[in-house]
Structure formats: C-alpha cells, structure tokens
Amino acid sequence: MPDVLLVGDWHLASVTAAGLTRLGYTVHVRPDAVETPGRAGFGALEAPGRAGFDAVETPGQAPFSALETPDRAAFDALARGHRCGDEPEVAGILAAARENGTLRPVLDEAQAAEVLRHADMSLVVHDTGTAADGTVTDLRPVAALRQLLGDHGRRGPVVVASQLRAGTCDAALADAGLPADSPDLIHIPENLRLGRAVSDFLQPARTVVGCNSPHLPQAVRDLLDRLGSRDELHMRLVEAELVKHGTNAYLALCITLANDLGTVAAHLGADPVTVLDGVRADERVAAGAPLRPGEPYAGATLHRDVRALVEHGEPIGRDGLFRAVAHANAVHALAPLAALDKHLEGVAERTVCLLGLTYKPGVSTLRDSAALRLADELHAQGARVTAYDPIAETADLPDMQRRTTFTEAAADADCVVLTVEHPAFTDPAFFESATPRHALLLRLTGTERRSRVPTPHGWRSVDLWNS
C-alpha cells in the first residue's frame, strides 16, 4: 500500500485525505495547530512578496521549522470531519480510514522526517487564505512547499494542490537549488466544488498536471492512473498555475456579465432570464457557463484569482479587464442597498432579516459571504439586522442578531432578504409561521421564475430586476 505525507488542513486537506484513502493510500497527515491564524481571513499574516517567498525564512534541517506546530486536537478534528465545512461523505470516509489505520497523524518533526524518508510522495494541500479583495495573505502553502523541496531526506516528489499565484512553483525550485526542469515538483491545481468535492476528487472531468520535466515521477503517474481523469492535460508549472487563474476569472466574468446585462435588460423593460437564455443558446457559448442574473460572485477562490491576474497584468498594462470584473461585481454587491432603500423608504432604524448567510447553497462556510458584507453595510446605515441560516458555521457576527429559527429572525422584520437558496427554504411550509411586519421578500438569488424558493401566500416578492 503506497504511503503519502499530507501537509495541510481544513477543506482541501480533508477532501484530499478522504479521496486518497479511498484510492488505497495510507495518508500521514500533518495538520495545523487548532488556533493557526488564517482560518477565516488570515489577517494576522504578512502579504507575500516575490510569489510569497520573501516573507518565508530559509529552511533548516527540521522539516517543518517555519510552520505552525501541529497538535493532536487538530488531527482529531480533521479525522472527525470537523474541518471541512460539512462536506458530504468526508466524515464517514475519514472515520473509517482512521479505524483501519490508513489515516495517521504526524505530530512532531521526528515523525515528519521518518515519513518523508519512505513516503512515495508529499502533498501540500492548504486552503490558501485571502484578504477581502482577493490578495493572498497566507504563507503556509509556500512555507510547506519550500520546506519539503529543501529537505534532503525526502524520498518522493512534492505534489502541490493548494491555490498558488503564478510563478510560485518556479520560484520554489530556484530557492531549493533544484534545476528548472526538475521532476521533484508537480502542481495539480485543485478543482473541487463545495458540496460535491469527494466525487470531483475521485472522478475528475479534467486534471491539469504541471511539471517542468517531460518525465513524471512514477508515484505521480500511479496517482493519475488511479484517478482516471476523462481529460488529462500536461503542461509546465507556470501554465498550470495560470490555468487555475484563468478558469476562475472566466467564471467571474460570466457572473458579472449576466448580472450587468440582466440589469440593463430590466432597465429597458426586457426579461433578464429570457435574454440570458438566448445568449446561452448560441453554440459558441458554453452550455454550463454561469450566465444567469443573480447574486454577485463570492468566496475566496474567484476573488483570489481575479486579483492575481490584476497584479500580474498591471506591469504590462493588461490589468484593465480583470479590474473591471472586480469593480462590476462590487457594484452589483451594493445593489440590494438601493432596492431596500426604495422599498423601505430608507433603511435606517428598519429591521432587515437575512435568510441565509453562507456564500453558496448547501455549504456551511461563511468565508467571504456576500450576505455578511450586506449585513455590514446595513448596520453601518443604521439598520437592525437579524439572520437565520440552518447550516452556517458558528462564528462571532457582531453586526447582526443571529436567530435559531426563521420565525424568531423574521419577527417584526420590515423585509426578508433571500441571500442563499438552501434546500430547507424550498419547502412551501417553511414560511408559514413567520410574522414579519411587512410580508416583503427581496430575492438576491435571481428572478422568481427561476428560483426554487416559492413566494409564500400573501407575501410580495421583488428582485433586483423588477423592483
């Protein structure tokens, strides 16, 4: 049974560990300490310099001397599936792997050195944290990458799946004193969708493999064969990094195009959904493109990659498109304020109930949620904000009053704002016990005829395109 060392934590690490154990690997996990800074914003860390390397000290002989100290509590939390945002299947897979001995902790440097000496490969799988504007503020992936490449006792290659700014891998090879065409470093950018990450890992529709050597290490070739991707693309390291940037920038562009075109359509008296359906019907437009008027894009991933392309494009005068995408998204994120101001004749001293807090349906993570940003703006303008979300993670949310039931959250509200279409909200009986002051439902997720959430009897439904 092949052995791998997995360096990382939270969602990407949890899913990768679960997937690898399902594929027959014994996974040795080196998690972060429980209080590692950066789980929700990474604000305490310095922004990286040259591809993140200037802020990371030169590695010594100890494999992880520049990283946070791992601990048993962190491993136990990961092994119980508590550090993956309630990703389906993960907890069960990890529990079974821990029971049968194929999921094991690495809790000190001596253990790490021993695992490195015999592991078939090492994987860097930190989720890369960002600031609100998408700027990377998380040094852990770079630190782990540099430490592993610089360790002379390492047996297998280093595979990095973490989200990296273009140029990071080439800089890592140079700083480790390895040739530019070394096969020791492979970048396989993660392509996991929240809520279906395990199936994405085990049955990838596309796998991008970055390596500067024409010859992949056998351990990596074996992993790819086990994955059996329907489309396996091989390229250089920097090209793989740019593919990740480009894919997410394309998705961000589609979302902003749909929102801005939909808003223009509504202004001219046209139905936004009909217009966007017509655009998507053209055979030159991808059928799966997210071209529907709805909420702004959120979550760290798209913000991070758009920001990376802004920074890479600026020195050569090609940052304009990416800046425009970010600006258009920010403008759309403020549109609910204008709608609420209109329907409530001002938001000051009004009570606004947010229905849903996470950044997409069916997941628990609050990181970079559009609903939280809206709550901040409403609070700043003097509104009282209540909220209900049945699955969102526990967090300190000072600008709102989070309630345990929708009935409590909606009581005496001047407006209920639908920010996320969680499955629980699609039941027509869900709204029955709610008694807001005004039965007004403002939809931020799209127009009513494309929504899975029905308008309750006796309520008035408005959205950003018909208000």
Flag the least confident range among 129-138, 247-256, 364-373.
129-138
What domain range is 298 assigned to?
A: 244-329
pLDDT tens profile 103-152 = 999 988 889 999 999 999 999 999 888 877 788 878 889 999 999 999 98
Q: Are residues 252 and 203 in the same domain?
A: no
- Coil, strand or helix: which one is 378? helix
Q: What is the CATH number of the domain that holds 322?
A: 1.10.1040.10
Angle at 226 between CA 117 and CA 28, to 5 degrees: 35
Q: Are residues 135 and 175 in the same domain?
A: yes
* Of 418 and 428, the one with more pLDDT: 418
Where residue 44 falls among pLDDT bands split at 50, 70, 90? very low
Q: Are residues 368 and 381 in the same domain?
A: yes
215 neighbors 192 (Cβ within 8 angstroms): no
pLDDT tens profile 370-395 = 899 899 999 999 999 999 999 998 88
pTM over 0.75, yes/no: yes
Q: Are residues 362 and 439 in the same domain?
A: yes
Mean pLDDT for the chain? 89
Q: Are residues 185 and 36 in the same domain?
A: yes
Q: What is the CATH number of the domain that holds 378?
A: 3.40.50.720
CA-CA distance, 298 to 110, in Å (whole number)? 41
| Nearest alpha carbon to residue 133 among 352, 326, 422, 364 | 326
> For residue 372, what are the CA distances in angstroms to 1, 398, 420?
45, 10, 12
Q: Are residues 290 and 198 in the same domain?
A: no
Q: Are residues 33 and 94 in the same domain?
A: yes
Instruction: Give the number of domains in the chain.
Output: 3
The residue from 329, 347, 364 where one domain ends is 329
Q: Are residues 267 and 319 in the same domain?
A: yes
Flag the least confident range among 13-22, 254-263, 281-290.
281-290
The residue from 189, 205, 235 where one domain ends is 235
CA-CA distance, 364 to 393, in Å (whole number)? 5
The residue from 329, 345, 376 where one domain ends is 329
Q: Are residues 207 and 83 in the same domain?
A: yes
Q: Are residues 294 and 317 in the same domain?
A: yes
Q: Are residues 159 and 46 in the same domain?
A: yes
Q: Are residues 354 and 374 in the same domain?
A: yes
